[in-house]
Structure 1
């Protein structure tokens, strides 16, 4: 009797596996399953606050692991450098101009927005008002005189050069301070007019592939030390706290909606990744010699007698042949 129950249980399990495989590997059936699961998730998550299923400290621990503890070694910076070099050397750069990426109207709107930003205006005003700006101009002019006329002439003319340069630089900077927004906008527009039709590869003289590699190395070296500072960890804490202060008590479905993630997006990604991934699974490639039972089939495996789980006699299922 026990062997008969074991055989029946095995056949029921085989049928259930076959049925589930049918749901997962047939695209139409998988779509139905995905719709049901997504609808169920959105319904249930409409009443579940974010922080009740994702505690704040748990998320902080994950953030710390990947932002602070995770080793930034070996393959990661190497791969980033190789990707950057590949993009830098791609033929599309010689076939694409700045004009192809941004048209005149878009650039003018962008330049105007930048020039009108209070932060940009404050930064420009600080540069124009800083004594270091005049000092830098004086130093550049003196170096230019030394390079073109010799160090002896530069030393002899140092005082008059400094006096004239400071007067001229002060005059120019005073004029620029009257309307820094217009000066910045004119500078951006002059750059655009002079470079809009250049292909992107034309800028390789300014930034070489060696420069790209150096930027990657410097960036990783900086981040390696920066991420271990109390300052960086404080920023991580505050960033996570802000998310949970804003959305911690909000139902998950509402959080997704605020992020612009809708049911159609979830279905699209389920159908994008589900069928091709499942089609390559070992279980999906098992031979199937019979049809799966219809979705309405019920497998009753919940009966309990004497503390032992057993099959109810009223099991309803289409079984594979023994």
Structure 2
């Protein structure tokens, strides 16, 4: 390296270090952030990236990466800390969710009338539910017919007659089976009709005004309850199980064709509607204004630069990059060989 170039290299390095280590750092960070924002305000998103790059980035870094064991452990540990936090014993539900916010949520959910009707219909017409109700009615009716009941206690001699009838039914075997089959068929046929009537009754009972009234009554009952009332029943093992189950579900979902196709459609829809916006508009839409960015860059940049300087890493990197110029043939020629 030319002797003069070596002197210039040292001076240039000190110049950079003085700017970064001194009181000018805050101004420097603000100026560079503002300059970058000015540039971002002139560049549409589509000039910087496109659908394919964004989609591929999400595929590589979200859909093709399984949550690590360390990450799952961290999630479970932090969730357990939150659930067992002493503040839960002093914090009531209404401190986190006021009545107005609760009403907004309830009203929006209750207004999904078509979905509610479909859920009621699916439940009430489910063969398993119908069979369960049918079995309950059958056993209740059978017990009423063959066991002592209110009628046997009121009518003299009826108890003995019922016992005799029960004994005869047990001895007649095949007739008992035939009666059982007939009784089951009768109950099942009538259960279907009863379930249809019940569905209409449930729909009436779940009309919007009634549901809203019930929801508000429920809020009055629970709003003063402390969070500990619920969180105390959740153990660390429960949290770990939920985290593991969630990870299993996600690992399956992220590999399905549905997930990939949905990602493509969502990225395409975003670019169709907002791709022509400038980078700065996109940042402002998520709350990152120029002023906020300057504050955040300072809050992160100042301690980071201080640590880079203290460790010697920053000076070494600056010197390395400047040295490549000052040791170049062009610099040597410029300095007179």
* Shared fold per TM-score greater than 0.5: yes
Superposed CA offset, 1:53-97 (max 9, x none): 223322222111122222323212222222222212222222211
- Quick check: 29-38 or 219-228, which moved more? 29-38
Partner of 1:136: 129
Summarize the Cα distance change of 1:68–1:104 in structure 2 as closer, same or farther, 3 Å threshold.
closer
Contact 1:24 1:275 in 2 (8 A): no
Shift of 1:13: 2.3
Tell me by how many angstroms 1:142 deviates.
Answer: 5.4
- 1: CA distance, partners of 2:74 / 2:130: 41
The Cα shift of 1:270 comes to: 0.8
Q: Could you tell me how far apart the structure 2 residues matched to 1:64 and 1:255 are?
A: 22
Aligned to 1:264: 291
Whether the aligned pair in 2 keeps the contact of 1:125 and 1:180 (CA below 8 Å) is: no
Relative to structure 1, is the Cα distance of residues 161 and 105 closer, same or farther in structure 2, using a 3 angstrom cutoff? farther
Alpha-carbon separation, structure 2, partners of 1:225 and 1:209: 25
Whether the aligned pair in 1 keeps the contact of 2:110 and 2:212 (CA below 8 Å) is yes
Confirm whether residue 181 of structure 1 aligns to residue 176 of structure 2. no
Is 2:16 the partner of 1:20? yes
Q: Retained in 2: the 8 A contact 1:93–1:201? A: yes
Aligned equivalents of 1:56 and 1:277: distance in 2?
33
Shift of 1:126: 0.9
| Structure 1 position 272, deviation (Å) | 0.9
**Bigger relative contact order, structure 1 or 2, given CA contacts below 8 A and separation 6+?**
2
Q: 1:233 aligns with which of 250, 256, 260?
A: 260
Name the SS for the 1:280 alignment partner: helix
The residue correspondences of 1:156-195 to structure 2 (distance < 5 A) are: 170-171=196-197, 173-178=199-204, 180-195=207-222
Greater gyration radius: 2
Aligned equivalent of 1:93: 88
Given the two structures, how large is their TM-score scaled by the length of structure 1? 0.73
CA shift, 1:235, in A, is: 1.2
Q: Is the 8 A contact 1:9 1:311 kept in 2?
A: no
Count of aligned positions: 286
Inter-CA distance 121–15: structure 2 relative to 1 (3 Å threshold): farther
CA distance in 2 between counterparts of 1:232 and 1:59 reads 15
Kindly state the Cα deviation for residue 128 of structure 1 after the two structures are TM-superposed: 2.3
Of Structure 1 and Structure 2, the greater helix share is in 2
2:224 equivalent in structure 1: 197
Unmatched 5+ residue regions in structure 1? 287-298, 314-322
Matches within 5 A, 1:292-303: none
Instruction: Give unmatched runs, 5+ long, in structure 2.
Output: 148-179, 313-321
* Separation (CA, whole Å) in 1 of partners of 2:299 and 2:211: 46
Structure 2: distance between partners of 1:206 and 1:19: 62
Q: Does the CA-based 8 Å contact 1:21-1:284 persist in structure 2?
A: no
Please name the residue that 2:3 is paired with. Answer: 7
Deviations 1:97-131 (A, max 9, x none): 11221223332233223323xxx322211122333
The separation in 1 between residues aligned to 2:233 and 2:199, in whole angstroms, is 27
Q: CA deviation at 1:199?
A: 1.1
Whether contact under 8 Å (1:134, 1:170) holds in the other structure is no
Q: In the TM superposition, what is the alpha-carbon distance from 1:232 to its structure 2 partner? A: 0.7
Asked if 2 retains the 8 angstrom alpha-carbon contact of 1:50 and 1:252, the reply is yes
Give the aligned partner of residue 240 of structure 2. 213
How many Å separate the matches in 2 of 1:22 and 1:143? 86
Distance (whole Å) between structure 2 residues aligned to residue 243 and residue 237 of structure 1: 10
Of the three residues 27, 30, 37, the one matched with 2:25 is 30
User: 1:15: Cα distance to partner?
Assistant: 2.4
Residue number in structure 2 paired with 1:126: 118
Structure 2 residue aligned with 1:294: none
Q: Sort the Cα spacing of 1:15 and 1:109 in 2 relative to 1 into closer, same or farther, 3 A.
A: same
Q: TM-score scaled to structure 2, two decimals?
A: 0.70
